[in-house]
Protein backbone atom coordinates (compact mmCIF):
# COMPACT_ATOMS: atom_id res chain seq x y z
CA UNK A 1 0.00 0.00 0.00
CA UNK A 2 1.06 3.52 -0.67
CA UNK A 3 2.52 4.93 2.55
CA UNK A 4 1.07 8.32 1.71
CA UNK A 5 -2.49 6.98 1.63
CA UNK A 6 -1.89 5.07 4.84
CA UNK A 7 -0.66 8.24 6.49
CA UNK A 8 -3.68 10.21 5.21
CA UNK A 9 -6.13 7.59 6.45
CA UNK A 10 -4.34 7.43 9.78
CA UNK A 11 -4.40 11.19 10.23
CA UNK A 12 -8.06 11.29 9.17
CA UNK A 13 -8.90 8.65 11.73
CA UNK A 14 -6.84 10.45 14.30
CA UNK A 15 -8.81 13.65 13.66
CA UNK A 16 -12.11 11.84 14.10
CA UNK A 17 -11.05 10.06 17.26
CA UNK A 18 -9.44 13.13 18.85
CA UNK A 19 -12.59 15.19 18.31
CA UNK A 20 -13.97 15.55 21.81
CA UNK A 21 -17.61 15.27 20.72
CA UNK A 22 -16.91 11.98 18.99
CA UNK A 23 -15.09 10.71 22.07
CA UNK A 24 -17.88 11.83 24.37
CA UNK A 25 -20.48 10.21 22.13
CA UNK A 26 -18.53 6.93 22.10
CA UNK A 27 -18.09 7.01 25.87
CA UNK A 28 -21.78 7.74 26.41
CA UNK A 29 -22.87 4.94 24.07
CA UNK A 30 -20.54 2.40 25.68
CA UNK A 31 -21.51 3.50 29.19
CA UNK A 32 -25.22 3.24 28.45
CA UNK A 33 -24.73 -0.18 26.93
CA UNK A 34 -22.75 -1.42 29.92
CA UNK A 35 -25.09 0.17 32.42
CA UNK A 36 -28.22 -1.22 30.80
CA UNK A 37 -27.03 -4.81 30.71
CA UNK A 38 -25.01 -4.63 33.90
CA UNK A 39 -27.65 -3.02 36.06
CA UNK A 40 -30.41 -5.35 34.91
CA UNK A 41 -28.18 -8.32 35.63
CA UNK A 42 -27.11 -6.95 38.99
CA UNK A 43 -30.66 -6.27 40.10
CA UNK A 44 -31.83 -9.69 39.03
CA UNK A 45 -29.03 -11.56 40.78
CA UNK A 46 -29.43 -9.43 43.90
CA UNK A 47 -33.15 -10.16 44.06
CA UNK A 48 -32.59 -13.87 43.52
CA UNK A 49 -29.96 -13.96 46.24
CA UNK A 50 -32.15 -12.07 48.70
CA UNK A 51 -35.05 -14.40 48.01
CA UNK A 52 -32.96 -17.53 48.51
CA UNK A 53 -31.34 -16.13 51.60
CA UNK A 54 -34.62 -15.15 53.23
CA UNK A 55 -36.27 -18.45 52.46
CA UNK A 56 -33.28 -20.47 53.61
CA UNK A 57 -32.93 -18.34 56.71
CA UNK A 58 -36.55 -18.93 57.72
CA UNK A 59 -36.33 -22.70 57.26
CA UNK A 60 -33.06 -22.72 59.12
CA UNK A 61 -34.56 -20.79 61.99
CA UNK A 62 -37.61 -23.04 62.19
CA UNK A 63 -35.46 -26.18 62.16
CA UNK A 64 -33.31 -24.66 64.90
CA UNK A 65 -36.41 -23.77 66.96
CA UNK A 66 -37.81 -27.29 66.64
CA UNK A 67 -34.50 -28.58 67.88
CA UNK A 68 -34.52 -26.19 70.82
CA UNK A 69 -38.09 -27.23 71.72
CA UNK A 70 -37.17 -30.92 71.51
CA UNK A 71 -33.88 -30.42 73.30
CA UNK A 72 -34.44 -27.79 76.03
CA UNK A 73 -31.19 -28.73 77.79
CA UNK A 74 -29.24 -27.76 74.69
CA UNK A 75 -27.09 -30.90 75.00
CA UNK A 76 -27.52 -33.32 72.10
CA UNK A 77 -26.92 -36.42 74.21
CA UNK A 78 -29.71 -35.35 76.61
CA UNK A 79 -32.35 -34.97 73.91
CA UNK A 80 -34.22 -38.18 74.78
CA UNK A 81 -34.41 -37.35 78.50
CA UNK A 82 -34.64 -33.62 78.79
CA UNK A 83 -38.38 -33.26 78.14
CA UNK A 84 -40.10 -31.20 75.46
CA UNK A 85 -41.49 -27.72 75.01
CA UNK A 86 -44.85 -28.87 73.61
CA UNK A 87 -46.27 -25.34 73.40
CA UNK A 88 -43.34 -24.18 71.30
CA UNK A 89 -43.78 -27.14 68.96
CA UNK A 90 -47.46 -26.33 68.51
CA UNK A 91 -46.57 -22.69 67.77
CA UNK A 92 -43.89 -23.83 65.31
CA UNK A 93 -46.52 -26.01 63.64
CA UNK A 94 -48.43 -22.90 62.58
CA UNK A 95 -45.26 -21.28 61.27
CA UNK A 96 -44.31 -24.44 59.39
CA UNK A 97 -47.70 -24.81 57.71
CA UNK A 98 -47.13 -25.14 53.97
CA UNK A 99 -43.34 -25.46 54.35
CA UNK A 100 -42.95 -28.77 56.15
CA UNK A 101 -40.93 -30.41 53.35
CA UNK A 102 -38.39 -27.56 53.32
CA UNK A 103 -38.13 -27.29 57.10
CA UNK A 104 -37.85 -31.07 57.46
CA UNK A 105 -35.10 -31.15 54.82
CA UNK A 106 -33.09 -28.51 56.68
CA UNK A 107 -33.70 -30.26 60.00
CA UNK A 108 -32.47 -33.57 58.64
CA UNK A 109 -29.38 -31.99 57.12
CA UNK A 110 -28.49 -30.23 60.36
CA UNK A 111 -29.38 -32.89 62.92
CA UNK A 112 -29.09 -36.20 61.04
CA UNK A 113 -32.55 -37.44 61.98
CA UNK A 114 -35.95 -36.70 60.53
CA UNK A 115 -38.09 -34.03 62.14
CA UNK A 116 -41.15 -36.29 62.33
CA UNK A 117 -39.16 -39.09 63.99
CA UNK A 118 -37.94 -36.60 66.55
CA UNK A 119 -41.41 -35.21 67.21
CA UNK A 120 -42.87 -38.71 67.55
CA UNK A 121 -40.35 -39.31 70.33
CA UNK A 122 -41.00 -35.97 72.01
CA UNK A 123 -44.80 -35.83 71.77
CA UNK A 124 -47.50 -38.30 72.76
CA UNK A 125 -49.80 -39.67 70.05
CA UNK A 126 -52.48 -36.99 70.47
CA UNK A 127 -49.98 -34.15 70.55
CA UNK A 128 -48.24 -35.49 67.47
CA UNK A 129 -51.54 -35.85 65.62
CA UNK A 130 -52.46 -32.32 66.67
CA UNK A 131 -49.17 -31.03 65.29
CA UNK A 132 -49.72 -32.93 62.02
CA UNK A 133 -53.19 -31.42 61.70
CA UNK A 134 -51.76 -27.93 62.16
CA UNK A 135 -48.93 -28.43 59.69
CA UNK A 136 -50.95 -30.12 56.94
CA1 LIG B 1 -36.32 -33.96 74.51
Question: What pLDDT does 1 receive?
Answer: 67
Question: What pLDDT does 27 receive?
Answer: 92
Distance 84 CA to ligand 1 centre (A): 5
Q: Is the pLDDT of residue 134 over 80?
A: yes
Stretch 7-15: mean pLDDT, rounded?
80
Distance 108 CA to ligand 1 centre (A): 16
Distance 92 CA to ligand 1 centre (A): 16
Q: Where are the alpha helices (H) located in the chain, listed in sequence order?
A: 3-18, 20-70, 86-96, 100-111, 115-122, 125-135
Q: Are 96 and 63 in contact (CB under 8 A)?
A: no
Distance 114 CA to ligand 1 centre (A): 14
Which range (12-16, 43-47, 72-76, 113-117) has the least confidence? Answer: 12-16
Residue 72 and residue 45 in one domain? no
Question: 0.95 exceeded by the pTM?
Answer: no
Question: What pLDDT does 81 receive?
Answer: 94
Residue 65 and residue 120 in one domain? yes
Residue 37 and residue 82 in one domain? no
Distance 106 CA to ligand 1 centre (A): 19
Q: Is the pLDDT of residue 8 over 90?
A: no
pLDDT tens digits along 60-115 = 999 999 999 999 999 999 999 999 999 999 999 999 999 999 999 999 999 999 99
Question: What pLDDT does 11 receive?
Answer: 81
Q: Is the pLDDT of residue 59 over 90?
A: yes
Distance 111 CA to ligand 1 centre (A): 14
Residue 72 and residue 126 in one domain? yes
Residue 129 and residue 86 in one domain? yes
Q: Are 65 and 85 in contact (CB under 8 A)?
A: no
Domain count, the chain: 2
Distance 99 CA to ligand 1 centre (A): 23
Please classify residue 51 by burial: count the beta carbons closer than 10 Å to its beta carbon, then call 0-12 exposed, 13-18 middle and 19+ buried.
exposed
Range(s) of the domain holding residue 76? 57-135
Distance 58 CA to ligand 1 centre (A): 23
Distance 82 CA to ligand 1 centre (A): 5
Residue 61 and residue 128 in one domain? yes
Residue 26 and residue 70 in one domain? no
Amino acid sequence: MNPLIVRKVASGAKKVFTNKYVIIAIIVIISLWILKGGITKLIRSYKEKQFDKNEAKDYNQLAQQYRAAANPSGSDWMIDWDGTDEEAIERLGYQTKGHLASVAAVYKQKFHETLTDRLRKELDTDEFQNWRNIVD
